[in-house]
Structure 1
């Protein structure tokens, strides 16, 4: 399931990344050029650290919006949810025998706005199931009809209690 594209956010982040790069390279150049003598002031190092983290987060959101996707699979006795950007991603594996109550559920009312875009990246979803006392979500950005189609496709593949 590919990530939904919110073009306003993607264009904004693309432009923001240009400014971020200028700031990052400017401070790195300042530190490496020798203009700042002695150990770099703590404030510059702290700013560089926080600026780098902010840029990496923004880049992750940008890449998620452009090429991110969720992959749902059943491998043997495992129910596997994979969130990936390109070839990189992470799996969450659940014991299929412990998965219960697969269903569609509303999550974020603002599904096309900023909150919905962040929620789609962070693990929100319109498909829900319970496993080992916790509720898990996936299907980020699916419309209710799309979520129902996915649920209807998955149900015959397993014994959902």
Structure 2
């Protein structure tokens, strides 16, 4: 193999790596944006906006969550001066699927039947996202739950 061929092959490999890296960074940003927007809407009970960021099969879980919110829960949330905030801790993308670990602060925790929810200072949750065409969407397979403090 000549020096010219070696240089051309090396250049092609570097170009391919750069292209793959750029696609990965674009997906990371899109996943982060979608997950954070979903979390901010979901945990602030803006469920219609959260639903717009979900796959079709997630509808039943948003509907389930909405059906379990009482006026007492809304009153507790409305008494707060600060809204829920979400930060992305980790993103793991595998093809058209992504797993996101998120920290949520100042959110309504509804974990007792028959009693209004209570405010939780901080918790962690996990989301799965799926790529539909060029768009990333949250793909719920159950209610969003707090995994740890």
Settle same-fold status: TM greater than 0.5: no
TM-score with structure 1 setting the length = 0.29
Q: Which has the higher contact order (CA 8 A, sep 6+)?
A: 2
More helix by share: 1
TM-score with structure 2 setting the length = 0.31
